[in-house]
Structure 1
Amino acid sequence: MIRRFGEPVESGRRYVRRPGIYALLVQGDAVLLTFQEEPKPEFQLPGGGIDPGEQPMAALHREVLEETGWRIAPLRRLGAFRRFTYMPEYDLWAEKLCTVVLARPVRRLGPPSEPGHSAVWLGAEEAPGLLGNQGDRHFAARHLLGAT
């Protein structure tokens, strides 16, 4: 069973399943996050949805590059979680199935190409508490701080 974070499921609401993959990008005692300005300003683990027919690792590389401007080297899968949420950019209610991968930033190719995203380096101790969703916070705290 995959752990659920966030808002409770609303009875009678139809949710569209959205698989996604996200990276905890660690370099020394720093973490590379993306700051998304809209629909609400928040720090996030870089990553996103896996397009139909796309392989998860290809999606991870694509999404991280779009949101941070960095190439990465995936190291290992940390786990998965799900959350039920409204996605205003797609005007849909989604059951997000989120896989989290530990990865290493390898090379900065330029600024993020995804509009409204900024690449931000934060200290490993402060990063988990600033992440915008509970699932991201859980995996970052568990890996970076040894929290459960």
Structure 2
Amino acid sequence: MKRISFTVNGVQHRYGGDPEMPLLWYLRDLLQLTGTKYGCGAGVCGACTVHLDGVATRSCITKMGSMAGKRVVTIEGLSPHGDHPVQKAWQACDVPQCGYCQGGQIMQAASLLRQKPHPTERDIEEAMQGNICRCGTYQRIRQAIVLAAKGGKP
């Protein structure tokens, strides 16, 4: 395979391996960016959500062969100090319970707010419906998204 170039969290990378390898494995196994989690492997749970060219994308079903020229942002790259408005709202609302899905939840929410800075309840429900939380913290997740949209003001 021809070597492809793309960026991850602002750093240029080159890849020349199996084009069928999921982006998730590249991030976790080769770059050691383990905040992006493996959940279902079928793109339906959202634990592996990253931003691909600014759009929330399931990295477990995104093939490395499609990455040429792309920009990837993982939970580690969302904010250098963990102070993205969504991350701050997550802390203020005490969202995580076990925490496993939270990286994907935060990345999905950040993508929503980039597209719709003032989402309706329906917008939030639609955007977040593909992200599963085994602990059931959905009410706090919605509360945090609303708080982040208000600029952190209750």
Give the TM-score normalised by the residue count of structure 2. 0.25
Give 1 or 2: higher strand fraction. 1
Give 1 or 2: higher helix fraction. 2
More contact order relative to length (CA 8 Å, sep ≥ 6): 1
Larger Rg: 2
